[in-house]
Amino acid sequence: MARSTINTPSNDIRSDSGSVLFSLILGEQIEFPLDLTFANIDVELYVLDAVIIEGDNDGIGSMPDKILEGGASDTVNIRVPINKGTWDAIAVYDQGDYVIYDDGINGEQTYIKIEYDAGADPTTPDISYMWQPHIKTVVYIQIPSTIGSNYDVAPLVDKHTYGFFELKVSEPITSPFRQTWKPTRGMVELLFSPTAL
């Protein structure tokens, strides 16, 4: 029972392990997996939005505490693997598709195709180099190489620049009370790159 004084709370029922820091060299293009473990329906039914907004960088490498007014804002693509159902030896699968495969010993397992192949491959996912185990609640944040290229303050050899990141997850529009979560937020740290010059 909650019996403590109401204006001195001691228990945060929505706590987490903290914000994230994506550290990138200017010009890198990276894909990060994120596990939406709270999802209680197929993740492909959720509406996913991710953005990176330019921070108010001071030019000396300090982490900003606010966004730059009128600064760059980028929508980030989120790749959601496609559920292709039960694995079929004669079916053709694309890279990023996932299947359910039962080897008769371990029960149903989920595998995602990680290699491109133009045709069908009868090699089962549990032993094929083209497949790897997959968790159905994982999505992939795709940060493009252009992030930070139009920031007011560019990173220097010994001074980083920053942007703010957030992922928003909403239930399908058909939900009776459409819940929205913001499970991942934090900063993008951009480091100097000679090749980006």
Task: State pLDDT tens for residues 160-169.
Answer: 999 999 999 9
Give kind and range of the element (H or E) at residue 58. none
pLDDT tens per residue, range 14-55: 666 678 899 999 999 999 998 888 766 678 888 999 999 999
Tokens 């900063």, residue?
A: 187
Average pLDDT, the chain: 89
How many residues does this entry show for the chain?
197
Alpha carbon separation from 157 to 55, 62, 193 (Å, rounded): 19, 14, 8
User: Which range has the worst mean pLDDT, 31-35, 117-121, 169-173?
Assistant: 117-121
What would the mean pLDDT of 139-143 be, rounded to a whole number? Answer: 94
DSSP string, 6-50: TTS----TT--S--EEEEEETT--EEEEEE-TT--S-GGGSEEEE
What would the mean pLDDT of 66-83 be, rounded to a whole number? Answer: 95
Q: What's the rounded Cα separation, in Å, for the pair 32 and 16? A: 19
Rg value, the chain, Cα: 21
What would the mean pLDDT of 132-159 be, rounded to a whole number? Answer: 94
CB 73 within 8 A of CB 98: no
Q: What's the rounded Cα separation, in Å, for the pair 197 and 194? A: 5
pTM: 0.84
DSSP string, 101-121: EE-SSS-EEEEEE-S--SS--
Is residue 1 pLDDT above 60, yes or no? no
**What single-letter DSSP state applies at residue 172?**
-
Q: Which amino acid is at 137?
A: T
Alpha carbon separation from 27 to 30, 85, 139, 193, 197 (Å, rounded): 10, 37, 22, 7, 9
Domain ranges of the chain: 20-79+138-191, 82-133
CB 85 within 8 A of CB 97: no
What would the mean pLDDT of 107-135 be, rounded to a whole number? Answer: 90
Bridge partners of 83?
A: 98
Q: Which amino acid is at 9?
A: P
Q: Which CATH architecture has domain 20-79+138-191?
A: Sandwich (2.60)
**What single-letter DSSP state applies at residue 60?**
S
Q: How high is the pLDDT of residue 119?
A: 82
Q: How high is the pLDDT of residue 196?
A: 84
pLDDT tens per residue, range 3-14: 665 656 666 666
Note the Cα 132 to chain centre separation in Å. 18
